[in-house]
Amino acid sequence: MDIRLFQSMLQAQTTDNLRLPSSSNSSALFNDLLMTQMQPPTLLNPIETGLSIREILEGRPSLLAQTSAVTTPVQANVAQDLDAIIKEAAATYQIDERLIRSVIKTESNFNQHAVSRAGAEGYMQLMPQTAKGLGVTDSFNAKQNIFGGTKYLRQMLNRYNNNTTLALAAYNAGPGNVDKYNGIPPFTETQNYVKKVLTQYQA
């Protein structure tokens, strides 16, 4: 409670009592104000409200609170552009766009800047040498990466007579290993990779 405000209220009450000794309205008003001041302040939790301490005291919402639930135009454009790129790549190389999405999901979980321990880069995790052979100059460029990866997947499909399983195995382990073992190589990573992509593709 603000002591100075309380003192001012007492002075005002005393003055009013002197001026209006028979008035009960003044006393009632004083009592109401006094009870209001005696109530403990309501404390807001900054974490729950999304406001800073200063903004709570000033009664203003933070910029974070105003924008956290809103998808920014940049985010929206990125999502729309990615969808358009996948559709265009699918049409260009005659591959089901669901398969492309499944590969991207498995390879990078749609992380444009993903880099594997082996050095594969971007959405479709292109190795630098493979990317170069596909004409990709920037593996972190969404369109170049997805078009390059889709082109490579089409090459593998052509090589294995549109056998999706073998094409995916070659995409992961290289066609040399698929040819060597005449099927999916006995590598746990490759076997799990093929299953994961096919499961998502066929879901």
Q: Is 88 a catalytic residue?
A: no
* Domains and their CATH numbers in the chain: 82-202 (1.10.530.10)
CB–CB of 99/201 below 8 Å?
yes
Q: How many H helices and E strands in the chain?
A: 12, 0
How far are the Cα atoms of 8, 13, 20, 21, 53 from residue 27, in angstroms, in the given order? 15, 7, 10, 10, 36
How does DSSP classify residue 1?
A: -
Q: Which one of 48, 58, 107, 189 is the catalytic residue? A: 107
Tens digit of each residue's pLDDT, the chain (203 residues) = 555 544 555 555 544 444 444 444 445 544 554 454 555 444 444 444 444 445 444 554 444 444 344 445 555 555 679 999 999 999 999 999 999 999 999 999 999 999 999 999 999 999 999 999 999 999 999 999 999 999 999 999 999 999 999 999 999 999 999 999 999 999 999 999 999 999 999 98
Angle between helices 73-93 and 142-159 (to 10 degrees): 30
Binning the chain into helix, strand and coil, the percentages to the nearest 5 are 65, 0, 30
Residue 67 corresponds to which tokens in the numbers above?
A: 């924008």
